[in-house]
Chains A and B, each alone.
Chain A
Amino acid sequence: MAFWVLLAIVVIVVFWAIALYNGLIGLRNQVQNGWRQIDIQLKRRHDLIPNLVNTVRGAMEFERDTLTQVMEARSRAVAATGPVDAAKKEGELTQALGRLFALTENYPTLKANENVKMLQEELSSTENKVGFARQFYNDIATKFNTAQQTFPSNIFASMLGFKPAELFEITDAGERAVPAVDLSMKR
């Protein structure tokens, strides 16, 4: 009798361990996939920017500085190494692009141009995708970490060789700072 009870317990534990292991492997693959997804979207953004610059160049002859800034920020972002560096350079690129888009507002012909509109849509969509890819990565990495760290799986997770995944954080202090908006009605 005691033997059978013991056997049943062992079988249950083994099945539970298998389920845990497979669940963790699935989550880890999703985390890695999420990470790669961010890279894909960043690459796409880099590919789109020369198109945009070429399209607006003719009309925006006077804004040569801004255009070169965008191209320089882009090549720095392409050359970035490691996630921390990349996050910083991509942030600068976003800011340069923001300035360029703000300037196009001064050119009615550009604003009405279908090509420019399409490129703007593509670029803002790519920015969104980068953001959503990061959001998904953070969500799934959090899930992965929680699965490893909660009891009782925490006992086995490290034994099976799982390490917690790093979360995406804002690395640039400037990006984190809340913009100061002064709404007091000064007279």
Chain B
Amino acid sequence: MLVFVAFLFFLGYGFDRFYMGGGTMPIPIGSVFALGLGGASAFTSYYAGDRAVLLSTGAVPLTDVGPSAPEEDKLKYRQLQNVVDEMSIAAGLPRPKVFVIPDPDPNAFATGRDPEHASIAVTKGLLDAVNRDELQGVVAHELSHVRNLDIRLMTVIAAMVGAAALIADWSTRGLQMGMGGGSRSRSRSKEGGGGAFGLIVLVIWLIAVIVAPVIGQALAMMVSRRREYLADASGAELTRNPLALASALEKIDRAEAPTASVKRGTANLCIADPLGRAVGLREGGWSNLMASHPPMASRIAALKEMAFQAIPQSQ
């Protein structure tokens, strides 16, 4: 998170230094303006995002689908409501709204700007695939996202990624124009910035601008992966049963098909990467850099480790 702010600040600093006349301004106008724009887009998604997400996935409120369900599903739906109630008691949170997504692939996500406006959605496929304890683990994971305010965090980060991309965009445009016309005045102000040092900063900044969208995305995904581990761990703290979540994750992992009804933007709130990207087996590969979720195997390993810790001095 701090890395993120620092990165954004560097981008904005360079922009001001080389375009706004070499740090004569008292405040970083460029970055403030970009953040403002990014913030405005984040603001709308902050207040209306949960409804948009639920609508786009075709989620149906459990209270609508429950009573009219066929007899063999009724118990499942009742179980879902009960499990959500149990977990919100364990977490000490208000009851979130519960939604069911008519999709055969097992997955689940949480959305909403704070615990008072939270919703949890699970796919029909998940209800069919997992048993009660495993469902509890999944719901605990989602409720942990709600409790840890991950939804808010990811919204803020999305705004910052947007701002970084904006600065980068403006800068590259500015460079192209600079090739043609008023490069003279700019190079003068650059030299005013201080000789060799200024040149080095300019080079680093240029590289940063070119890779900014990629780095921004990679940083966002890094935060997302950390929050997944955290939600796994605090979910296990709620159920005191990490193995149930581990076996639920194994089942979700085995059903590899992508969750068709979940769009890209929602990916980092799901329990498992809904795009079914084949990332995975080893930690730290290049493909891993852009993954919204840590590799399933290492999540499961971490959960199993928690379970062993629960047994004092076994041997």
Contacts and interface: CB of A to CB of B under 8 A. Distances in A.
A binds B: yes
Interface of A: 30, 33-34, 37, 41, 114, 117-118, 121-122, 125, 128-129, 132-133, 135-136, 140
Given A136-B91, A136-B92, A140-B92, A121 B75 contact: yes
Interface stretch (B22-30, B79-87, B261-269): B79-87
B277 interface: no
Given A125-B85, A128-B86, A129-B85, A118 B92 contact: no
Nearest to B79: A121
Given A117-B75, A118-B74, A118-B75, A34 B92 contact: yes
Given A118-B75, A132-B90, 6 more contacts: A114-B74, A121-B79, A125-B83, A132-B87, A136-B90, A140-B92
Nearest to B71: A114
Give chain B's interface residue range (CB within 8 Å of chain A): 10 to 19
Contacts of B79: 121, 125
Contacts of B91: 136
B20 to A, nearest CB: 38
Given A118-B74, A118-B78, A133 B85 contact: no
Contacts of A128: 82, 86
A129 B89 contact: yes
B75 A132 contact: no
Contact of A135 (B74, B75, B90): B90
B74 A133 contact: no
Query: Is the contact region of chain B dominated by helix, strand, or loop, or is it mixed?
Result: helix
A136 B91 CA distance: 7
Given A114-B75, A136-B89, A122 B82 contact: yes
A132 to B, nearest CB: 4
Contacts of A125: 79, 82-83, 85-86
Contacts of A135: 90, 240
B304 to A, nearest CB: 22
B285 to A, nearest CB: 38
Which 5 pairs show the lowest CB-CB distances between chains A and B? Answer: A125-B82, A132-B90, A132-B89, A128-B86, A136-B92
Interface in B88-142: 89-92
Interface string B8-40: 000000000000000000000000000000000
Contact of A121 (B71, B82, B87, B240): B82
A132 B85 CA distance: 10
Nearest to A120: B75
Contacts of B86: 125, 128-129, 132
Contacts of A140: 92
Contacts of A129: 85-86, 89
B251 to A, nearest CB: 21
25 contacts: A37-B89, A41-B89, A114-B71, A114-B74, A118-B74, A118-B75, A118-B78, A121-B78, A121-B79, A121-B82, A122-B78, A122-B82, A125-B79, A129-B85, A129-B89, A132-B89, A132-B90, A132-B238, A133-B89, A133-B90, A135-B90, A135-B240, A136-B89, A136-B90, A136-B91
